Amino acid sequence: MEDIRRPENMERITTPELAEKFIEEQLKALREQIGDKKVLLALSGGVDSSVVAALLIKAVGKQLICVHVNHGLLRKGEPEQVIEVFRNQMDANLIYVDATDRFLDKLAGVADPETKRHIIGEEFIDVFAEEARKLDGISFLAQGTIWPDILESEAGIKAHHNAGGLPEDIASRFELVEPVRILFKDEVREVGRALGLPSGMVERQPFPGPGLGVRCPGAITRDRLEAVRESDAILREEFAKNGLEGKVWQYFTVVPDFKSTGVKNGKRTFDWPCIIRAINTTDVMEVTVEHLPAELIDHLVKRITTEVEGINRVLYDYTPKPPATVEYE
Ligand code: XMP
């Protein structure tokens, strides 16, 4: 594939008008490149793949086939939102694969963080490749690669996930389509807004590929994973209600694998703690902690300990990066 680079003097896309202009140019280029052929896209529901999907739906409609793999480590409501927005509202061709059991069975008893990440990554490729093999006559593979991905992989900071991860029989079948390749994240968001994607999708905080798996440290169990998912949903709901959504860079909960004694309705409990992490950053290399109002913390403690099964204590992580990383694994 031709190595398309961001022109040095390219104007930053900061307004709806500039986003519209970019969209018009891309639609034309995509229609020229794709013609009447079919395109495959792994649609996670994150900002980049969602914007790529919306662009391709506009450009080639049903010639796009989206595959949404639910690895069981997504946040509450995410698969439902992908189905609602893309299948129901945008009338896209969407294949939904619920691979939860497959992932959780493979991860059962695995406590080492790097092994967990490896299993999740490999299994994701396997599931996606299986779906791809079932489909005939697909010529293109679309990806939500953005400009920082290219820069980081060139600088050796992060391996850029491209078709290289796919088995050779699959990768060799496709030509790559990367319509947001020359954009920075804020520009992808501007384009997403202009394409009419819901704000909850466009303004989404970063979410790691291994998902809630890295927020359930050690060997993942279904009950502890559920406690992570439910407490995360409460945290997001309260941040939205208190005007913090889109203002704080990233916020989530972690449920570590140890228990402590508590008391509920006069009876002893022995349950997990729930750790809240809320951070701000510009480059993710250095991170500061968001200081929440005391009333909000009190409210979160009350909601999480009463509504989430298996939690009897809430802790707040005040550690910047360095020395801590953002995620726990
Ligand atoms: P750390 O924990 O390295 O996180 O300080 C920095 C940022 O990167 C996100 N992160 C990931 N994103 N795949 C991703 O796409 C991953 O495996 C991954 N691990 C961490 C993290 O959420 C934070 O925003």
* CB of 250 shorter than 6 A to ligand 1: yes
Position of tokens 């059991």?
101
CATH 3.30.300.10 assigned to domain 211-316? The reply is yes
Residue nearest to atom 22 of ligand 1 (CA): 208
pTM of the complete model: 0.93
- H runs (alpha helix) in the chain: 16-34, 47-60, 78-82, 100-107, 113-134, 147-154, 168-171, 185-194, 199-202, 222-241, 294-307
> Is the CB–ligand 1 distance for residue 226 below 6 Å?
no
- Of all protein residues, the one whose alpha carbon is nearest to atom 8 of ligand 1 is 208
Mutate-to-test residue for ligand 1 from 284, 288, 328, highest number of ligand atoms within 8 A of CB:
284
* Ligand 1 contacts CB of residue 213 (under 6 A): no
Same fold, 16-202 and 211-316: no
Instruction: Let me know: does 90 contact 56? Beta carbons within 8 Å.
Output: no
pLDDT at 1 over 70: no
Residue 176, SS3 per DSSP: strand
The verdict on the CB of residue 185 being under 6 Å from ligand 1 is no
CA 122 to chain centre: 17
Residue 260: the pLDDT is 98
Q: Per-residue pLDDT for 167 more than 90?
A: no
Token output for 260: 């402590």
pLDDT of residue 69: 98
CB 320 less than 6 A from any atom of ligand 1: no
- Residues 25-45: tens digit of each pLDDT: 999 999 999 999 999 999 999
The atom of ligand 1 lying closest to the CA of 210 is: 17
At 174 the pLDDT is 93
pLDDT in tens, 72-122: 999 999 999 999 999 999 999 999 999 999 999 999 999 999 999 999 999
> Ligand 1 center to residue 211 CA distance, Å?
9
Please name every residue paired with 278 in a beta bridge, in sequence order, or none if there are none. 251
pLDDT of residue 155: 82
pLDDT score, position 63: 98
For the chain, percent of residues with pLDDT exceeding 90: 88
Whether 6 contacts 147, CB under 8 Å: yes
Q: Does 163 score more than 80 pLDDT?
A: no
Looking at the DSSP bridge assignments, the partners of residue 321 are 287
CA-327 nearest atom, ligand 1 = 2
Domain ranges of the chain: 16-202, 211-316
Q: What's the rounded mean pLDDT across residues 158-168?
A: 69
For position 275, what pLDDT does the model report?
99
* CATH architecture under which domain 16-202 falls: 3-Layer(aba) Sandwich (3.40)
Question: Which atom of ligand 1 lies closest to the CA of 206?
Answer: 24
For the segment 206-224, the average pLDDT, to the nearest whole number, is: 97
pLDDT digit string (tens) for 231-245?
Answer: 999 999 999 999 999
**pLDDT tens, 119-154?**
999 999 999 999 999 999 999 999 999 998 898 888
What does the pLDDT read at residue 164? 60
Q: Is 209 in the pocket of ligand 1 (CB under 6 A)?
A: yes
CA of 38 to the centre of ligand 1 (A): 32
Task: Calculate how far, in angstroms, residue 327's C-alpha sits from the geometric centre of ligand 1.
Answer: 7
Q: What is the pLDDT of residue 169?
A: 84
